[in-house]
Structures are given as structure tokens and as C-alpha cells.
């Protein structure tokens, strides 16, 4: 079977699949040698290059059998290990290069990328590290964002610039570099423990920011921190586990209750909401972005068309996951 390591299926034209790969460029820095390698590979395979919003260079237009040879020629690693990982750590020039920098965003951004770049998460995650309040790395609309000030870092959590925009909540301020690392580590552990198929902001909305902050800061300080009642009327006690209420996904499925067996007209969002055990089945077929607005409201037949895949094997696997009920 042909390796598609780090490859993303692009638009299918005349029945032909073309793929794109995006090598990792921590903090957006690239050496002259790497630039030359990009150009050589693009010319060899007749590829298009595009600068991405995550401070990388995507290579577009390759055939399936070209994916692995291209990685070998580049001598670089994929930026993402899966659709549900830490996808990027966007970083501004900070005090290293910028006259307005208040904190060393390059140092901190590269360190966070080393710790978490490509690490698997319950959903996709994006980070931003901005060296001053101008927030050129768009930190306040990242799942985890740091903004530099004269007295240290401000840490924001739960931001999102996608189909359902959300400004991040200010979790802590006046943080040193080491305190920022420690607090991010704690947030990640909490998110991986309690989140389902949801972004960090959705988890925070589900449990309440005051409760979330109390649990995080209790772990950070080693002392019980009471929830701030002014920020949330109904809060849980410090350190308590989140509510067991069903996860509210980023989309609003429109298809109604799912009936078995699952068919091509079944809505993906309805299926994974009612039957969460089907999530690994979808992912095993390369459908990783199940929590986005578009994918969640699509019927299976449309998703299969977009991905250029046969529907029958997916339906068989989905219905097989129910045992005799799916027949």
C-alpha cells in the first residue's frame, strides 16, 4: 500500500486525486538550504507552493505514489501527525527581532513546538505566541495563546478563529517563561483527560470557565482556588470533575435521530453524537475532522464524494460496529 504520510487530499479533478504536504517549520523560520530544497523538489515534481496561515510552506499537486519520494527528497518531517493534534504554534518575531517586542516569543514558541507540535489531542489544537499586546500571532483566538507584556506573559485559553469564532478567556497573567510552560502543561493534561470530540473552548463552555480556572490554578499553585462566582452563576467546586452532560459539538446536526442500519443519507454529526463509538471508524477511513461545521452536517455519501472514496466499505464498517443491530 502506498504511503500517504503527512499528505492531505486536495480537490479531485477528472477523477484524479492530488495531494499536498506541509513540512514542519518551527516558529516559521526557514534556512537558505531548506528554501533551495523546496525549489528543487517543486521543480522536479511540478508542484505549486503556497505560504500558509500557520507560517509554513505547503507543496500542492502531487500524485499518491509521489508522496513518500517527496518526503525523502525534502529530508523534512510533516507538520501534523493527524487531523486531531497540535497543528501549529504560530509565533511572532518578539524581542529577538521586533522593536515592539516585550517578551521572547521566538524562544517560547519554539519550546512549545518541541513539547507539543504534532502531539495527539481530543480535537485539533492551535497555539499562538505573541511578544506584545499587538498579538501578531493571533494568540487570543487560539486554543492556547500567550501575549507578552512588560511584566510577563498573559495566558489565554479557548480561542477559535474558525466557523464559530471565540475570544479566548484570560487564565493568568504576569507569568515568567517557566510558569507559562507549567501552566500550559496543566491545561493540556486537563484537556486530554476531560475533553471528548471538542475544541478546548467548547470544553470550557461546557464546564464553565470559573470551574475550569479553579481546577487549573489549584493544580498550578498547589492550593485550593475557589471559582470566581462573578464569571459564572453555576460553578463546580475547585478540583471537581467536569459535568457529565453530553458534549456539545461545534456544529448543530440537522438530520434528526439516526436509524439503523446507517445509510449514505445518514448525517455524520448525528451519528457521532448518538453513537460516539463510531468516531474511530470514521477516522480509520481518513475522516479526521469530524468536529468541524462542514463535516458534521454532511451526509455520508457527500463526505465520500469529497474524499474520493467508496462508500460501501465505510458503511459496512460503521454498521459492523453495532453487531447484529447494524444489519
At 78-124, the pLDDT tens digits run 998 788 899 999 999 999 999 999 999 999 999 999 999 999 999 89
- Burial class for 8, CB neighbours closer than 10 Å (0-12, 13-18, 19+): middle
Residue ranges, CATH 3.30.70.3340, the chain:
7-74
Classify domain 268-326 at the CATH topology level.
Answer: SP0561-like (1.10.3910)
Task: Say yes or no to pLDDT of 240 above 70.
Answer: no
CATH number for region 86-231: 3.30.413.10
Classify domain 7-74 at the CATH topology level.
Answer: Alpha-Beta Plaits (3.30.70)
Task: Say yes or no to pLDDT of 233 above 70.
Answer: no
Inter-axis angle of helices 300-307 and 311-320, to 10 degrees? 130
- Reported as a single tens digit per residue, the pLDDT across 154-174 is 999 999 998 789 999 999 999
**In this structure, are residues 197 and 122 in contact, taking their beta carbons and an 8 Å threshold?**
yes
- Reported as a single tens digit per residue, the pLDDT across 126-163 is 999 999 999 999 999 999 999 999 999 999 999 999 87
Fill in the DSSP letter of residue 53.
T
- Name the pairing type of β-strands 169-175 and 144-149: unpaired
Task: Say yes or no to pLDDT of 256 above 80.
Answer: no
Q: Which residues pair with 160 in a beta bridge?
A: 166
> Is 62 in a helix, a strand, or coil?
strand
Read off the pTM: 0.81
Amino acid at each position: 500500500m502506498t504511503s500517504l504520510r503527512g499528505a492531505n487530499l486536495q480537490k479531485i479533478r477528472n477523477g484524479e486525486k492530488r495531494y499536498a504536504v506541509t513540512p514542519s517549520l518551527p516558529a516559521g523560520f526557514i534556512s537558505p538550504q531548506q528554501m533551495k530544497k523546496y525549489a528543487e523538489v517543486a521543480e522536479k515534481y511540478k508542484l505549486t507552493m503556497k505560504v500558509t496561515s500557520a507560517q509554513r510552506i505547503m507543496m500542492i499537486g502531487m500524485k499518491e505514489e509521489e508522496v513518500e519520494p517527496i518526503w525523502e527528497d525534502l529530508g523534512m518531517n510533516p507538520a501534523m501527525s493527524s487531523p486531531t493534534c497540535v497543528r501549529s504554534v504560530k509565533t511572532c518575531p518578539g524581542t529577538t527581532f521586533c522593536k515592539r517586542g516585550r517578551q521572547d516569543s521566538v524562544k517560547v514558541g519554539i519550546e512549545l513546538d518541541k513539547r507539543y507540535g504534532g502531539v495527539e489531542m481530543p480535537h485539533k489544537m492551535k497555539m499562538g505566541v505573541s511578544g506584545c499586546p499587538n498579538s501578531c500571532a493571533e494568540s487570543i483566538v487560539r486554543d492556547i495563546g500567550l501575549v507578552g507584556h512588560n511584566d510577563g506573559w498573559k495566558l489565554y485559553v479557548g480561542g477559535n478563529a474558525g466557523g464559530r469564532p471565540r475570544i479566548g478567556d484570560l487564565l493568568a497573567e504576569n507569568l515568567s517563561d517557566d510558569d507559562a510552560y507549567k501552566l500550559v502543561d496543566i491545561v493540556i493534561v486537563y484537556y486530554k483527560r476531560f475533553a471528548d470530540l471538542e475544541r478546548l473552548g467548547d470544553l470550557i463552555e461546557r464546564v464553565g470557565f470559573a470551574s475550569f480556572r479553579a481546577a487549573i490554578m489549584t493544580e498550578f499553585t498547589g492550593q485550593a482556588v475557589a471559582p470566581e462566582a462573578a464569571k459564572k452563576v453555576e460553578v463546580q467546586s475547585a478540583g471537581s470533575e467536569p459535568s457529565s452532560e453530553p458534549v456539545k459539538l461545534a456544529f448543530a446536526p440537522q438530520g434528526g435521530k439516526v436509524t439503523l442500519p446507517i445509510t449514505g443519507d445518514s448525517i455524520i454529526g448525528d451519528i457521532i453524537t448518538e453513537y460516539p463509538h463510531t468516531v474511530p471508524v470514521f477516522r480509520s477511513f481518513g475522516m479526521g475532522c469530524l468536529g468541524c461545521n462542514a463535516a458534521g452536517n454532511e451526509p455520508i455519501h457527500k463526505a465520500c464524494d469529497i474524499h474520493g472514496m467508496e462508500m460501501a466499505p465505510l458503511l459496512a464498517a460503521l454498521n459492523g460496529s453495532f453487531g447484529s443491530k447494524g444489519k
